[in-house]
Amino acid sequence: MQYTLLAKDKNSEARCGVLTTAHGEIHTPVFMPVGTVGSVKAVHMRELKEDIRAEIILGNTYHLYLRPGTEILQAAGGLHRFNGWDRPILTDSGGFQVFSLTGTGRKITEEGVTFRSHIDGSKHLFTPENVMDIQRQIGADIVMAFDECPPGTSDYNYARHSLGLTQRWLERCVARFDETAPLYGYEQNLFPIVQGCTYRDLREKAAEHAVSLNRAGYAIGGLAVGEPAEEMYAMIEVVNRILPQDKPRYLMGVGTPANILEGIERGVDMFDCVMPTRNGRNGMLFTRNGIMNMRNKKWADDFSPLDPEGTSYVDTCYSKAYLRHLFISEEILAMQIASIHNLAFYVWLTQEARRQILAGTFKSWKDEMICRVTTRL
């Protein structure tokens, strides 16, 4: 995998580049739709490629390990062949999901994490080694290290202990990954995850340790978990001052359109979030002029296009009144239309940020966009 830095904004840390993988190029900054179980909810692969124009999607190790299971995935020839997506894929390690299973008998030890399936209650063990093996079987282009995800409200002592465990696990992930080979004839790359909650010294220590392992890219985890937005932005700045300029930076699980713009301004290259699909399924649409709640009565007789400036076919094919009708009627089509619109908007937002960086106008454009995308319509 090769990252080429093409341009930097003169008034901020924003940058754009090209990440070349075995399944194609990724033009950064980039938004990556979340396909947890191998599918982006309510969206066909053709829509993702041709209409939304996503360049990379996510899968999740925890969910794919439980269903359909690694035997099925390996027999299919990996996730790309299983789900029909022929562009790059990134898989999260499942750490966040495992550590979210509080109250289910989950147990953390130096070896790994014992947990019970949310599906049938069966007992499983994730270790740094077998999570690397599972991600080899899934076959994503970019795989994530197995880490502990401490709550955002963790006190300093817990966060310090958690980071120590994450760093030891990272070293085991790297060792296992480097001693195994890809299963499907193309290159895979491992990204460490920088943790440390909102403690500056822990974030610095985590970033320095990750950089010392010399991987193809780096992720920033453990943010957008309840801390104030300004603290999140401060931690991004702390970490990105240490991460190398010639490697991609991935901010995990973030976020709103405003969060993404602020992340780009601070030098982040890659983003993912369930918000466009999850919020979309509940009637919330993001646009370049603000946020719409499609269940509101104000849209009942608004026959104008869903989003005249939108980039998806759904934006001019359907009206606001029609989409509101579908939501009020609890039609599945409403969730599909809203998901497609939101994903297309998020992809447009990062692509437009890239164009503004190349043109040297990012900072002024971003400041204006922040005001627009946070407006309630």
CA–CA dist 221, 238 (Å, integer): 13
Nearest partner of 1 among 180, 213, 215, 170, judged by Cα: 215
Closest alpha carbon to 48 in 91, 84, 78, 1: 84
Torsion of CA 372, 374, 376, 377, to 10 degrees: 30
- Is 92 designated active site? yes
Is 86 designated active site? no
What CA–CA distance (Å, rounded) separates 269 from 266? 9
Dihedral angle sign, alpha carbons of residues 75, 76, 78, 82? negative
Please, what is the angle between helix 332-359 and helix 362-373, to 10°? 160
Task: For residue 103, give every residue at least 6 positions away whose Cβ sits within 8 Å of its Cβ, in sequence order, or none.
Answer: none
Residue with tokens 């396909």: 35
| Contact indicator for 28, 247 with CB cutoff of 8 Å | no
**DSSP secondary structure, 233-289, as one string:** HHHHHHHHTTS-TTS-EEETT--SHHHHHHHHHTT--EEE-SHHHHHHHTTEEEETT
Say which of 141, 272, 307, 315 is annotated catalytic: 272
| Cβ neighbours around 68 below 10 Å, total | 16
Query: How many separate helices (H) and strands (E) can be counted in the chain?
Result: 15, 17
Query: Could you give the C-alpha distances from 85 to 15, 45, 71, 221, 289, in angstroms and in order?
Result: 28, 6, 19, 26, 32
What type of residue sits at position 126?
F
* Catalytic choice (92, 147, 307, 315): 92
Residues recognised as catalytic: 92, 272
